[in-house]
Structure 1
Amino acid sequence: MSVQSMYQSKRMSAADAVQFVRNGDTIVVPTGAAEPPALLHALSDARHKLHGVVVSQILPLRKYAYIDPETVENVRHSAYFFGGATRPGGQEGWVDYVPAYFSELPMLIRRNMTPADVVFAIVSPMDEYGYFSLSLGPDYTMAAVEKARAVVLEVNPNVPFANGNCHIHISQVAALTESNDPLFEVGLPKIGPVQEAIGAHVAEMIPDGATLQIGYGGIPDAVVMQLTNKHNLGVHTEMVGDGIMTLVEAGVIDNSRKNVNRGKMLATFALGSKKLYDFINRNPSIEMHPVDTTNDPFLAGQNDNLHCINATMQIDFLGQCGSETLGPKPYSGTGGQADFVRAANRSNGGKAFIVLPSTAKDDTISRIVPTLTPGTHVTTSKNDINYVVTEYGVAQLRGKTAKQRCEALIAIAHPNFRAELREQAKKLNLL
């Protein structure tokens, strides 16, 4: 049977495609913009007929009707990482959470430690050889494709066909449906003076020829905007967004000094504008790979001068970072922060930056604290932390004593809190 005949035999409505889901199944959905809205809306419509179904995903972007406390016995969301759509449910207890390093999710799926019965994903149109591109988020989903009983795809002409290990053959597909809605777009975050100041400190420490991992947010994008005078930068990252694309357009990124995948950018998910998605389409300079390629500390750390920029919400005197909860309340998730901190620490000439504004709530709360708020989940450990950056400067902690760390962090705290922090440090016998 030709690939076109196979395609037509598996083509159906979203409502019919959802019938491949059985009671008790776990449906794996890719990160962010790679989620398939037509299929998830159809699942929402059919949820009252289902029981014990779980949807596992990092960072859902839309509030689907199945994300509903009244129908969790029918379909329940299980987050690898919370977003705005799932955070309230996580804090109230009716959305589940799987703590895990982003890099290890494919391994957990392959070893049956976390289930993957069905895959729902949005993909590019099929090429002449029968392949679809899961270009917007191969992440952990490619591993789920290997394990799943049924792979169900939403084919959309707006999805780019990317290079890399992100292709699914029609022979692997149980059902597919078609849509042509515009993809979910995210613009560049707002950058204020605090973010700009932090970005300037980091940018000053990034040399020509460095390889970058840059996350999403105002501070990482503030770093990007201040790298336009650099040369021969490379990219080995988790997320590719519009900020990185602007550096490519400016001629700053050419990947010429990378040790691994020289000449090419690597990422595991894309989140940005239509311009970014068009940029990825059949572009030989960028490849999309599963997260156990992009985020594995050993693989990423083989690049010399790997510079990784990630944000946290709170840090204590020893350097423990609480990046995913507000006290015990879940906010986001582990994600890839620890993966890339460890990768940069392994890298010859690498630097791992943890960035944060010095205060929160209109300068009424210090984000640098003696001890983390009770219940806070530690995302980056005291043993992994290296550079910490606020708008007031840089504290280099790796290899330093507890007292030296405490002094360095107080020096970059907001001036209004430094005296109080010193008193608290004395009570802890750190000063």
Structure 2
Amino acid sequence: MNASSTGRSFGSCLPNWRELYKAREIKAEDVALKLIQPGQQIYIDSGVSEPQAIVKAMVEYAKAMIDVNIIQFLCLRDKQYFDESFGAQDVFRHNAFFIGADSLREAVKKGGADYTPIYLSDIPVLFKQRRIHLDTAIILVSPPDMHGNCSFGANVDIVKPIADSAERVIAEINPFVPRTHGDSFIHMDKIDHWVYNDSNDLLEFNYDPPNEVATSIARHISMLVEDESTLQMGIGTIPNTVLQYLENKKHLGVHTEVFSDGV
């Protein structure tokens, strides 16, 4: 059953787009078995926009791959590129710009993965100026609209400049991806290969209940926030918990790249 048959389509699609761009359609396993070469550096779309079918295939066929460097902003799912049962930890070297999944945090602690601390706003220029070379960008997008444009959906962040800078773009096209407006589109002509996946809904992210330490820190931070302050909220349990203690503040503003549930 696809998204259209369940009434879950998000906007008008280009009629017969799959036939129109059939020549570039591949299977998810082709990414691992045919396209990614030894020693290449790839970017995998982040957060809720992780291309699940392609990532699953990469992990399952990890033993067929050699020395692949993965760059990702935010990984939400545990036990993927460092899953010992698949031998993936001997194939992939993961470099994260933000540590999300607990297994990634442990891998960094043990030296099995890397963490590059950097402001989100500073990341695009690294790729635009080719200071970080990128062989392949693997992204998640919506089906193309009447003009052939695919939307990056719910998680635009740094993916557009990265897709523009990569030598090759592989897209997982999922009809559950919502169309978001603004500078958040990529044309099908700029996608070298695509995988269709209507079996997976988008990933969801929920914060775990804060522990005593996080609650105590959040309470102290909230006392430093004055009325009429402008808030910039980061990602994580503590920033989200701080918001629970701001209910009595007045005339607060928000200028932030992240909207958590607390906002």
TM-score, normalization by structure 1: 0.50
| Residue of structure 1 in register with 2:60 after alignment | 45
Structure 1 residue 169 displacement after superposition: 0.9
CA change 1:215–1:65 in 2 (3 A) is closer
Q: Deviations over 1:281-323 (max 9, x none)?
A: xxxxxxxxxxxxxxxxxxxxxxxxxxxxxxxxxxxxxxxxxxx
CA change 1:85–1:228 in 2 (3 A) is same
- AA of the residue aligned to 2:74: L
Higher relative contact order (CA 8 A, sep 6+): 2
Note if contact 1:53-1:75 (Cα within 8 Å) is conserved in structure 2: yes
Q: 1:158-173 residue pairs with structure 2 within 5 A?
A: 158-173=176-191
| Residue of structure 2 in register with 1:264 after alignment | none
Note if contact 1:123-1:135 (Cα within 8 Å) is conserved in structure 2: yes
Note if contact 2:43-2:136 (Cα within 8 Å) is conserved in structure 1: yes
| Residue of structure 2 in register with 1:157 after alignment | 175
Structure 1 residue 131 displacement after superposition: 1.4
| Residue of structure 2 in register with 1:183 after alignment | 202
Structure 1 residue 62 displacement after superposition: 1.5
Identical amino acids, percent of aligned pairs? 29
Q: Deviations over 1:331-382 (max 9, x none)?
A: xxxxxxxxxxxxxxxxxxxxxxxxxxxxxxxxxxxxxxxxxxxxxxxxxxxx
1:30 equivalent in alignment to 2:32: no
CA change 1:227–1:131 in 2 (3 A) is farther
In structure 1, what is the Cα distance between the partners aligned to 2:27 and 2:251? 47
Q: How large is the Cα RMSD of the aligned pairs?
A: 2.7
CA change 1:45–1:187 in 2 (3 A) is closer
Note if contact 1:33-1:184 (Cα within 8 Å) is conserved in structure 2: yes
Note if contact 1:221-1:243 (Cα within 8 Å) is conserved in structure 2: yes
1:129 equivalent in alignment to 2:147: yes
| Residue of structure 2 in register with 1:386 after alignment | none
| Residue of structure 1 in register with 2:9 after alignment | none
Structure 1 residue 7 displacement after superposition: 3.3
Q: Deviations over 1:73-125 (max 9, x none)?
A: 53221222223131222111121333433322111112222221111122223
Q: Deviations over 1:184-233 (max 9, x none)?
A: 22234425662563364145x141xx543112344423443355566765
Secondary structure of the residue that 2:223 maps to in structure 1? helix
In structure 2, what is the Cα distance between the partners aligned to 1:206 and 1:7? 54
In structure 1, what is the Cα distance between the partners aligned to 2:163 and 2:205? 27
CA change 1:29–1:136 in 2 (3 A) is farther
TM-score, normalization by structure 2: 0.78
| Residue of structure 1 in register with 2:118 after alignment | 100
In structure 1, what is the Cα distance between the partners aligned to 2:23 and 2:140? 19
CA change 1:220–1:71 in 2 (3 A) is closer
Structure 1 residue 164 displacement after superposition: 2.4
Note if contact 2:137-2:163 (Cα within 8 Å) is conserved in structure 1: yes
Secondary structure of the residue that 1:87 maps to in structure 2? helix
| Residue of structure 1 in register with 2:6 after alignment | none
1:142 equivalent in alignment to 2:160: yes
Note if contact 2:227-2:250 (Cα within 8 Å) is conserved in structure 1: no
- Runs of at least 5 residues in structure 1 that lack an aligned partner in the other structure: 245-431
| Residue of structure 2 in register with 1:74 after alignment | 91
Matched residues, number? 240
Of the structure 1 ranges 63-72 and 122-131, higher mean CA displacement relative to structure 2 is found in 63-72
CA change 1:54–1:102 in 2 (3 A) is same
In structure 1, what is the Cα distance between the partners aligned to 2:182 and 2:252? 20
Note if contact 2:45-2:159 (Cα within 8 Å) is conserved in structure 1: yes
Note if contact 1:6-1:170 (Cα within 8 Å) is conserved in structure 2: no
CA change 1:105–1:6 in 2 (3 A) is farther
| Residue of structure 1 in register with 2:78 after alignment | 63
